[in-house]
Structure 1
Amino acid sequence: MSLDHLISDTYRALSELDPGSSINLIQGLNLAIVCDQASDSVDRQVYEPLFCLVLQGRKEIVIGPRRIEMRPGSALIVSHDVPVTTRVVEGTQQHPYLALVTRLDIAAIQSLYVEVAHELAPASTTSCIDAGEADEALIEAMQRLLAIRKRSLEAKVLGPLIHREIVFRLLQSHHGGMLREVLRFDGYAGRIAHAVRHIQDHYRERLVVSELAALSAMSLSAFHQQFKTVTGHSPLQYQKILRILEARRLLERGNKTVTDVALDVGYQSATQFSREFSREFGHPPRLRKAAEPASLSKH
């Protein structure tokens, strides 16, 4: 199965969806088509655990000090919820950046890992995001998943089986090491994943890193080191990014003042919030709110 065949099938699927959207969800398949054009601006967002197969164009992903370039045939694996900066660097209206994305439910694939763990190599990466070349078997599995999109019974019965095969092949891949690590019952990556979820659930609250380290059954120094190694950020930086991104979302809705938004996301000082927002996005929050109409929303 060549990438060209999958590109043709993806364009056919895209023609059945919303042509004006950059992210198109295929209902019932846990599959999305990303179709976008190159831009000078960057996007700050949080990637959830996912697998992304790039079909054409190029995209740049930055996590902490690392820079990952995605090109045709690149297979991206994300094992933890992680803040990233992204930019499409190659893609036009006639020849857009095109990719297939499927979400990875870490809890749901635990049983598969248990079955095959004894046959898998140890993790060769310490980061929660890594990319490598997709092999023919992985490309073929994605093509079969896309092919059943309009056959509801097959999507219901075969869809989960194909997803299981895709995860199996990701677990076997050279760059799937952190995905293997996060599934280990006694692995440090799993403990960091629990810490990440705790921060996400409580990002508005004051974060005491020593308490989070204790919850993760790690010493404070080891927790700091492992958290930053895996996510590219310190725990406090991670929390700040979540606050800032949520604040941006609230400002785009346009129905709250800057001070209200600052308080909603956990800041005690609107001045500090404005300073950190400006540092992150290059302009104060008031300009963001004034520049975008209240009806505009991102999905």
Structure 2
Amino acid sequence: MKLTYRTIIQNYFHRFQAEVSMAAYSSTPPGNHTYLTPEIYRIWLIQEGEGLLTFGGRTMEMKPGQLMLVPPSAFPALEAHVDVAVSLYWCHFRAPIGDMEVFDLLQLPICVVPKDEEQERMKLLFEQLLAAFRSTQLTRELRIRASMFELLACFLEYGGIDESTLNAIEPLEKVDRVLEYIEEHLSEAIAIEDLARLVYLHPNYFIGYFKSIVGYAPAQYVNIRRLELARTLLEDQELSITDVARKVGMQNHYFSRIFKQHIGVTPSRYRHIFHSAPKGVEGTEGSV
């Protein structure tokens, strides 16, 4: 996947917020027609029975094994078939409109079907979510979010991301030119005016436009990319710290300070940790 799209999507996920309002396991009686609250997002794992889901003018079949992410819509409804109940795990959650834009952006399917060996894992995640929802522990909210985010991650992985669809989205195409320019000039001073000129926008308007798509103001994003590049460069022992600082467009003293501020260790300490740790292990002796 192109760096542009990976960056934008990961930034959306990084700042994603959601509040679980209800979670349970229940059954809809045979033939029952249930109208759903339109403003709520839903995650469902169908366990038994068959039925129909109607939302946004669409109708789709519900069958055991499906994992569904149902967005808010006008007049949503669930109808069980006349001869069997529909039993399912479900979770309701609310999220700010901006936080959910990524799901529209990715144009994901409503329904995915995890492999047989993954079905028990999905069920276990819902059981953990339900247990956390009923809990009175101080850590309740953390465990609720952990289970829900894991379910969302599983849905996204099974739903797939069609890069050709993203290529057709004009805002992404425009900001793509900006991100490519940034990548090519990380070792140089990057002016907001130069970035704004690439998309024919006034600098003042460009800052908000860029942040609305990428998730960070241009200056923040440039620093993030410089630090990410620095981490990669520090893994090459042939480059001095001064060389690394120069390649990411920073003075040596400023680079060391900003690197420690964001990563938590100095550049030299990061390099030592990276090369001292056994393969596959992120750690080594000494202080952190």
Task: State TM-score, norm by structure 1.
Answer: 0.42
Structure number with larger C-alpha Rg:
2
Task: State TM-score, norm by structure 2.
Answer: 0.44
